[in-house]
Amino acid sequence: MIQVRELGAHIGAEVSDIDVRSISDADFATLYRTWLDHNVLVVHGQDLQIDDFLRYSRRFGILAPHPSKSTRHPDYPEITMLGANKFDADGNLNMAIYRRGAEGWHTDGAYDAVPFKATQLYAVAIPSRGGDTLFASMYAAYDALPSSLKDRLDGKQGAFTYGGRQKRAALLNEEDRDWQPVFHPIVRTHPETGRKALYFDPGKILRIEGMDEAESDAVIDELTARMIQPDAQYRHKWTVGDIVIWDNRCSYHLAAGDYPPEEERIHWRVSIHEFN
């Protein structure tokens, strides 16, 4: 029987006593419901080949290759190799790879017309210290907003693009850097839970539609300051064999970016979209 343990009051749960390679449909339904209820789901102690990881990931949705072609697995384009090849031929550290995901709190895929449903990682190599991943609840972020700000955001759309206002695109090939803005509600209702969340990414948002530039910038700054609620966070300390999946529709994440650069921190990563 699946054992579930909450990891935080508002976000995070772990399950034990399962092997994801052979989990039944009934047990997967329990696991999926646990994930929806807690935004982030941790499964420890797995021993997977890439085919196993892809097969399990496809139970959550449709897999699509990440826009960063240079970090895709050469034989499995749906897999991003996080942390691999961070030194060039001359031994120089590529900071874009080393600190990937550590630039600030964010949600994956806001630059897509249909944002990523989820991201899932499998830990292949873990450093001796550091390298944690932090998560925070978008539900809690919305709930904590003052009523006046909720009213200002009601019905407002954000314009998002890869790299946002800073145009960070170091991991993309030159021909893939021309992204057109897409538009998403800043207050987003989760399609499966029905709960309202603050759908916001300071690194990908360009502006808030229906506001002039000064007002938009001021609101973006205020949301950046308010998006992380201290009592609605979970910090994951990785061990080899961990699988962690998070719901990009209702959670933010941040890589600590603090592990010894000479050590390996390798994850297989997949981007999961809704079933058609």
pLDDT, tens digit, for every residue of 49-67?
A: 999 999 999 999 999 998 8
In the chain, what are the domains?
3-273 (3.60.130.10)
Given a cut of 90, is residue 35 above it in pLDDT? yes
Copy the structure tokens of residue 230. 């201290």
Mean pLDDT score of the chain: 94
pLDDT of 176 > 60? The answer is no
Mean pLDDT of the 179-203 span:
96
pLDDT interval class at 133 (50, 70, 90): very high
Arithmetic mean of pLDDT, 202-210: 95
User: Cβ atoms within 10 A of the Cβ of 235, count?
Assistant: 14
Percent of the chain exceeding pLDDT 90 equals: 87
Q: Could you give the percent of the chain with pLDDT greater than 70?
A: 95
**What's the mean pLDDT in 87-104?**
92
pLDDT digits (tens, 9 = 90+) for 228-273: 999 999 999 999 999 999 999 999 999 999 999 999 999 999 999 9
Question: CA angle 101-104-107, nearest 5°?
Answer: 70
Q: What 3-state class would DSSP assign to 106?
A: strand
Q: How confident is the model at residue 168, as a pLDDT?
A: 64
pLDDT over threshold 90, residue 173: no
pLDDT for residue 163: 73
pLDDT the model gives residue 175: 67
pLDDT score recorded for residue 170? 53
- The predicted model gives 98-109 an average pLDDT of 94
pLDDT at 119 over 70: yes
Pairing assessment for the beta strands 118-125 and 133-137 based on DSSP bridges: unpaired
Residue 11, classed as helix, strand or coil, is: coil
DSSP type of residue 32? H
Inform me whether the pLDDT recorded for 102 exceeds 70. Answer: yes
Give the global pTM: 0.94
Check residue 31 and give its pLDDT: 96
Residue 209 has pLDDT above 90, yes or no: yes
83 sits in which H/E element: none
How far apart are the C-alpha atoms of 159 and 180, rounded to whole Å? 9
